[in-house]
């Protein structure tokens, strides 16, 4: 992953989202140790406190858990928590913007649904 310092998203959120994506992609399994804040800081040439903030955010959400003296590990429910969060926040926000744009362009509900079905079908073929 490459961090985008020009992004509107803070670096710590980019770190957290990258770890979430690794978990969703089964690159990091339940109960597996994740990178420490110092490893992340070295990998991305960032302040360890910034990396730590991203990890702490995931601990607060229940995605990661701490083992005293050993580090942070992926929780059993991590994938479920991440999927729920992304559906309820990210996807909901995208849908809201899509509906607003469709209204602005005078796209009917039926047209929008057909466009969505077509895109979903394309996604299934890949």
CATH of residue 39:
1.10.10.10
pLDDT of residue 1: 66
The answer to whether position 1 is within a domain reads no
Residue 83 domain boundaries: 79-125
Same domain? 85 vs 73? no
In terms of C-beta distances under 8 Å and separation of at least 24 residues, what long-range contacts does 74-80 make, across chains too? Answer: 74/23, 74/28, 74/29, 74/30, 74/31, 74/32, 74/34, 75/30, 76/30, 76/31, 78/23, 78/30, 79/23, 79/24, 79/30
Same domain? 93 vs 65? no
Q: What is the pLDDT along the chain (126 residues), one digit of tens a residue?
A: 667 777 788 999 999 999 999 999 999 999 999 999 999 999 999 999 999 999 999 999 999 999 999 999 999 999 999 999 998 888 888 999 999 999 999 999 999 999 999 999 988 886
């Amino acid at each position: 992953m490459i961090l985008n310092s020009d992004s509107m998203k803070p670096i710590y959120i980019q770190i957290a989202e990258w770890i979430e994506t690794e978990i969703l992609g089964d690159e990091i399994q339940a109960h597996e140790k994740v990178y420490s804040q110092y490893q992340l800081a070295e990998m991305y040439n960032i302040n360890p406190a910034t990396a730590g903030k991203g990890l702490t955010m995931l601990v607060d959400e229940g995605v990661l858990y701490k083992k005293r003296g050993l580090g942070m590990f992926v929780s059993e429910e991590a994938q479920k928590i991440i999927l729920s969060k992304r559906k309820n926040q990210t996807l909901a926000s995208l849908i809201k913007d899509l509906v607003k744009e469709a209204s602005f362009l005078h796209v009917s509900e039926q047209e929008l649904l057909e466009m969505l079905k077509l895109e979903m079908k394309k996604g299934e073929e890949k």
